[in-house]
Amino acid sequence: MSISALLSMGRCCCRCCCPRGLWMLSAPCCDDRRMCVCPGPRRIGIPVRSSSLPLFSDAMPAPTQLFFPLIRNCELSRIYGTACYCHHKHLCCPSPYIPQSRLRYTPHPAYATFCRPKENWWQYTQGRRYASTPQKFYLTPPQVNSILKANEYSFKVPEFDGKNVSSVLGFDSNQLPANAPIEDRRSAATCLQTRGMLLGVFDGHAGCACSQAVSERLFYYIAVSLLPHETLLEIENAVESGRALLPILQWHKHPNDYFSKEASKLYFNSLRTYWQELIDLNTGESTDIDVKEALINAFKRLDNDISLEAQVGDPNSFLNYLVLRVAFSGATACVAHVDGVDLHVANTGDSRAMLGVQEEDGSWSAVTLSNDHNAQNERELERLKLEHPKNEAKSVVKQDRLLGLLMPFRAFGDVKFKWSIDLQKRVIESGPDQLNDNEYTKFIPPNYHTPPYLTAEPEVTYHRLRPQDKFLVLATDGLWETMHRQDVVRIVGEYLTGMHHQQPIAVGGYKVTLGQMHGLLTERRTKMSSVFEDQNAATHLIRHAVGNNEFGTVDHERLSKMLSLPEELARMYRDDITIIVVQFNSHVVGAYQNQE
């Protein structure tokens, strides 16, 4: 497949930033003579103060040469002279051409990928350069399926005595990477000491360190916030006396959803400090715990801990670097807590929770349970303006980005938007060399006068489940920017109920020939096969998100092209997509309703 063919497919993720700010960048990860010209950072763009065009022309590295025709094809040639883009992965990546930086650390997956050299990239681009005729190749349907299904996970709430008494039937989740490595994360767990189930999607930026940490830790903070005083005391006493701890969460994880073993001790200590404070703060009155408040507290506390850990540092140099990377990268979070008919959604950033409601006539409608925290949200714009002096009103949001840089207006981590300049400088200077060498971390956002500009405080929505609420879709913006919410709900709804609703054929009194019937059946089977292909609603949704043609049906050729994009190009056409589809148990929900 030629690159022009790729581009002619016309879906370029650059669209979210192209029309807005065009940023010139001397990529900090490269030395001066190796300027990277990469497609656009979706979340963060960094303006370059001095850039000289001649540098491009006389010492242009291979990827640059490759991308020039590319950009022209993209009708972006007009920006050639003034702007180029940097793949945001490079922002905090220490120079890939310093191999020793890799050798100093154990190759933990998160870490290895964090400072992964770009050999593949060079191989790919150089290989391309010499390919005289563009080769045409398509992935076969089984290949497409193996890509789409690689990360799929399904969980069914176990039944007791043949009955499922939970309001959740189960969930399907999946993710499709565009970044390499993927920066999205997902989590799902059942609370063991309280009732309810937690599900969340986390969209990382400037690396995956923060989203990874949040995906591991946030649910513990929420679960602890929900625990009654006695249980907290019991756990604390158990820790103190070395007894076995009460388990708090039952995780439902795909094998690829890992936990960082190295930081586990550190994370535990921070969590313990949190519950110790909760114990101390308890006034003795046993009041009902408010889920909304618990969610807000947990979000804020975790963000605070992330920030503190980075400021304090750790004697272990690996851990020290890890906590810094977590703090300097960022992540949005969209978390649902389902307990009986009570559904709380806590959202920070631009991921979204969508409720699938089946109307009486069988049709589907979408109810949004979260607000995006970005420039499209008037109330967020208002909030930001109120939180900062009037003279910053113009600079605090520029080109629809926070301080002209960041797309989400709320996020975990991202201490560059939270700490004072002094603190940032101090931490960086005392930090490890890798941090010091990293231009991105050193770079202070423009117009940075009254930090913090960013918060992790979530907006919590409450919804009381009704029998017609069939499912909840939690997904990162990778899904929502390719598909309308109404389509999402319709596709999932039809998938989940599709088979039951397909009317059986009956000949009745009509005159039907064998040939006619055969034609009809073959047609029905073809229609069904796309549904049958997926055992997972999230996979089915991704198939549509990536492969839908203008008629709203999955086009295999398009799907194949999109999935066979080399990992370095994929990010231009799509973002990481992470989806969790939670299915509700209408019988149980209905029974709750009848009780009251």
Partner 1 sequence: MNFYRLLSIIGKQRTSPGWQNWSSARSSASAAEAHSTTLPTQAQVVICGGGIMGTSVAYHLSKMGWKDIVLLEQGRLAAGSTRFCAGILSTARHLTIEQKMADYSNKLYQQLEQETGIQTGYIRTGSIFLAQTQDRLISLKRINSRLNVIGIPSEIISPRKVAELHPLLNVHDLVGAMHVPEDAVVSSADVALALASAASQNGVQIYDRTTILHVLVKKGQVAGVETDKGQIECQYFVNCAGQWAYELGLSNEEPVSIPLHACEHFYLLTRPLETPLQSNTPTIVDADGRIYIRNWQGGILSGGFEKNPKPIFTEGKNQLEIQNLQEDWDHFEPLLSSLLRRMPELETLEIMKLVNCPETFTPDMRCIMGESPAVQGYFVLAGMNSAGLSFGGGAGKYLAEWIVHGYPSENVWGLDLKRFGALQSSRTFLRHRVMEVMPLIYDLKVPRWDFQTGRQLRTSPLYDRLDAQGARWMEKHGFERPKYFVPPDKDLLALEQSKTFYKPDWFDIVESEVKCCKEAVCVIDMSSFTKFEITSTGDQALEILQYLFSNDVDVPVGHIVHTGMLNEGGGYENDCSIARLNKRSFFMISPTDQQVHCWAWLKKHMPKDSNLLLEDVTWKYTALNLIGPRAVDVLSELSYAPMTPDHFPSLFCKEMSVGYANGIRVMSMTHTGEPGFMLYIPIEYALHVYNEVMSVGQKYGIRNAGYYALRSLRIEKFFAFWGQDLNTLTTPLECGRESRVKLEKGMDFIGQDALLQQKQNGVYKRFTMFILDDHDTDLDLWPWWGEPIYRNGQYVGKTTSSAYSFSLERHVCLGFVHNFSEDTGEEQVVTADFINRGEYEIDIAGHRFQAKAKLYPVASLFTHKRRKDDVELTDLHGK
Contact set with partner 1 (CB under 8 A): 502, 504-507, 511-515, 517-518, 521-522, 524-525, 528
Which of residues 158 and 508 has its CB atom nearest to partner 1 in the complex? 508
Alpha carbon distance 233, 284 (integer Å): 12
Q: Check residue 484 and report its DSSP letter.
A: -
Q: Smallest distance, Å, CB 93 to partner 1? A: 43
Which of residues 246 and 521 has its CB atom nearest to partner 1 in the complex? 521
What value does the CA radius of gyration of the chain take, rounded to a whole number of Å? 25
Which of residues 112 and 521 has its CB atom nearest to partner 1 in the complex? 521
Alpha carbon distance 431, 313 (integer Å): 8
Distance of CA 223 to the CA centre of its chain: 21
Which of residues 502 and 535 has its CB atom nearest to partner 1 in the complex? 502
Which of residues 155 and 495 has its CB atom nearest to partner 1 in the complex? 495
Q: Smallest distance, Å, CB 505 to partner 1? A: 4
Which of residues 390 and 511 has its CB atom nearest to partner 1 in the complex? 511
Which of residues 165 and 505 has its CB atom nearest to partner 1 in the complex? 505
- Between the alpha carbon of residue 467 and those of residues 10, 356, 591, the distances in Å are 41, 11, 9
Q: Smallest distance, Å, CB 17 to partner 1? A: 48
For residues 541 and 150, the answer to whether their CB atoms sit within 8 Å is no
Alpha carbon distance 328, 514 (integer Å): 67
Which of residues 238 and 512 has its CB atom nearest to partner 1 in the complex? 512
Alpha carbon distance 590, 342 (integer Å): 13
Q: Smallest distance, Å, CB 221 to partner 1? A: 43
Which of residues 464 and 501 has its CB atom nearest to partner 1 in the complex? 501
For residues 256 and 284, the answer to whether their CB atoms sit within 8 Å is no
Amino acid letter for position 472:
L
Which of residues 242 and 508 has its CB atom nearest to partner 1 in the complex? 508
Contacts of 559 (CB under 8 A, 6+ apart): 144, 543, 546, 547
Q: Smallest distance, Å, CB 532 to partner 1? A: 11
Q: What are 225's two structure tokens?
A: 């916030």
Q: Smallest distance, Å, CB 515 to partner 1? A: 3
Contacts of 147 (CB under 8 A, 6+ apart): 139, 176, 563
Alpha carbon distance 326, 417 (integer Å): 14
Alpha carbon distance 322, 53 (integer Å): 36
Alpha carbon distance 34, 48 (integer Å): 15
Q: Smallest distance, Å, CB 516 to partner 1? A: 8
Where in 422-490 does DSSP place strands (E)?
Answer: 459-464, 469-475
Q: Smallest distance, Å, CB 520 to partner 1? A: 8
Which of residues 131 and 517 has its CB atom nearest to partner 1 in the complex? 517
Burial of 403 (0-12, 13-18, 19+ CB in 10 A): buried
- Between the alpha carbon of residue 533 and those of residues 117, 148, 536, 539, 540, the distances in Å are 37, 11, 9, 9, 8
Residue holding tokens 């949704």? Answer: 541
Q: Smallest distance, Å, CB 162 to partner 1? A: 12
Q: Smallest distance, Å, CB 519 to partner 1? A: 9
Q: Smallest distance, Å, CB 548 to partner 1? A: 26
Alpha carbon distance 167, 119 (integer Å): 49
